[in-house]
Amino acid sequence: MGNKLIGYGSYLPRKTVTNADFERVMDTSDQWIVERTGIRQRHFAAENETVADMALAAARAALKNTGLTVDDLDMVIVATTTPELDFPSVAVQVVGRLGATKNIPAFDVRGACTGYIYALHCGRAFFTSGMCERIMFIGAEKMSRFIDMNDRSTAVLFGDGAGALIFERSTSSYSGIIDTVVMSDGKSFDMLHGTADHKIVMNGPETYKKAVMLMPDAARYIMEHAGITADDVDWIVPHQANLRIIQSGAKRLGFPLEKILVTVDKHANTSGASGALALAYAFDNNIIKKGQLVLYPAFGSGLTWGATLIRV
């Protein structure tokens, strides 16, 4: 039992923050940020705009894109690490605000920057078991809530936004979410974590070293598992953390840079929202075309890492 991609949507907050805006409030420069990260701008949600608001906007866009209503879905999974409320989940809030008349299962997964792969991993199991017909996967984050303006090495890295993809059960096992792999290593907690008072603690160079090793590892694993090579893959849509990480990972895998989708320059690192946001951007701009094979590796706090193979 397989699945296929039937629609997508995204949402970016109206407020754009450029590197020049950071130059005005801290000791940094556009040149440093662009050279070290490739980031040129990011979107920040309004103060009263929540993760659920952004997830809802992306969900509405995805439903509009498919011509479906929330009652056509039988599960909603949200990948988020930055919800304002511990309960209820963002997924349940979204389903309620979409006006569902059915009582479908809805839940959040927390996998930091790998969260969306964790969500797809769960959803794939529901498709394979035949338990679900149509699932909406949303990635939504308000990273700006965790930004410490006294820490220039992390403040400039993150952005807010949401993306959503809808998959439907299908008889083909070569479409939609073809494969997923997710992993974790809790021993590296100190390298990258959030604090109770919403600050990001990160050892940048160590995080960089792990990311350029583990994302290619996950990508390699999934290609071997699927019996394909780099030549079979049309696009790599890596978690958008940092351009140097993306380029170094692509080089290790032997992928030409033309096959790498980059949105980190526009969105910065939106953690669990980055993959769905990047895919929505690529579909909107006719960059990734129907039928193409996409490899999406990710890495994040935990540590967590993983990859998925999607025929769009």
Active-site positions read: 113, 239, 269
Asked if 269 interacts with ligand ACO (CB under 6 A), we say yes
Asked if 242 interacts with ligand ACO (CB under 6 A), we say yes
Asked if 237 interacts with ligand ACO (CB under 6 A), we say no
Asked if 194 interacts with ligand ACO (CB under 6 A), we say no
Q: How crowded is residue 82: how many other Cβ atoms within 10 Å of its Cβ?
A: 25
Query: Rounded to whole angstroms, how far apart are CA atoms 143 and 167?
Result: 26
Give Cα 243 to chain centroid, integer Å: 15
Asked if 211 interacts with ligand ACO (CB under 6 A), we say yes
Q: Which of 15, 36, 225, 259 binds ligand ACO (CB under 6 A)?
A: 36
Closer of 56 and 303 to ligand ACO (Cβ): 303
Query: Rounded to whole angstroms, how far apart are CA atoms 120 and 138?
Result: 10
Closest-approach residue to ligand ACO (CB): 204
In sequence order, the 6+-apart residues with CB closer than 8 A to the CB of 78 are 55, 89, 90, 91, 94, 106, 107, 108, 109, 119, 137, 138, 139, 140
Asked if 60 interacts with ligand ACO (CB under 6 A), we say no
**Span of 76-84, 135-143, 240-248, 255-263 interacting with ligand ACO by CB under 6 A:** 240-248
Helix/strand/coil for 197: coil
What DSSP line would sit under 13-53, residue for residue?
-SEEEEHHHHHHHSS--HHHHHHHH---EEEE--TT--HHH
**Span of 2-10, 30-38, 132-140, 250-258 interacting with ligand ACO by CB under 6 A:** 30-38
CA angle 192, 210, 187 (to 5 degrees): 55
Q: How crowded is residue 45: how many other Cβ atoms within 10 Å of its Cβ?
A: 26
Asked if 276 interacts with ligand ACO (CB under 6 A), we say no
Q: Which of 102, 125, 189, 205 binds ligand ACO (CB under 6 A)?
A: 205
Interface ranges with ligand ACO (CB under 6 A): 28, 32-33, 36-37, 113, 152-153, 156-157, 192, 202, 204-205, 207-208, 211, 239, 241-242, 245, 269, 299-300
